[in-house]
Amino acid sequence: MIDPLELVVSICLVLSGIFGLVGSYGMVRLRDVMQQLHAPTKATTLGVGGALLASMIHFGLQEGQFTFHELLITLFLFLTAPVSAQFIAKVHMVGKLRRGDLPKPGTEGEWSIFAPPPEAGESGKAGQTRGGGKTRGVTTNPGA
């Protein structure tokens, strides 16, 4: 006779495998970076979540051992996947940005993504520390 908990664990594992397969297929098959980004962040996260849920059910209810490993992995996964997807999307969007795509800034100069990085000591903040010490060879305390 089939144990109902084994059936639930098996269903979770099969569903997680399907989600992982769909996410991997979408990443390979989709053309644009933004479309490719959508496939693994949604489907693969659900796939790993299903496998972790199956592990929690198996070890928690069948073996009598409750561990926090699966909960910590799930928390880490659900916190880091959207953040990394956001960073990848921002880099993709800024990489395709041209000067004519943005309106003129309200002040003199240009947008920071098009401006060259400031030289050390040029902006008044580069190379400074709170104690007036040195960072990267730049003296921030002129009396020293």
Query: What integer pLDDT is reported at residue 17 of this predicted model?
Result: 93
Query: What integer pLDDT is reported at residue 5 of this predicted model?
Result: 87
Place of tokens 């561990």: 67
Query: What integer pLDDT is reported at residue 123 of this predicted model?
Result: 56
**36 contacts 85 by C-beta, under 8 angstroms:** no
Split the chain (144 residues) into runs of 10 and give each run's mean pLDDT.
88 93 86 80 84 89 82 86 84 79 76 74 53 48 49
Domain boundaries, given as residue ranges, for the chain: 4-97
Query: What integer pLDDT is reported at residue 62 of this predicted model?
Result: 76
Query: What integer pLDDT is reported at residue 124 of this predicted model?
Result: 52
Helix ranges, 58-118 (H): 69-95
**Phi then psi dihedrals of residue 85, to 5 deg:** -65, -40
Closest CA to 52 of 40, 39, 68: 68
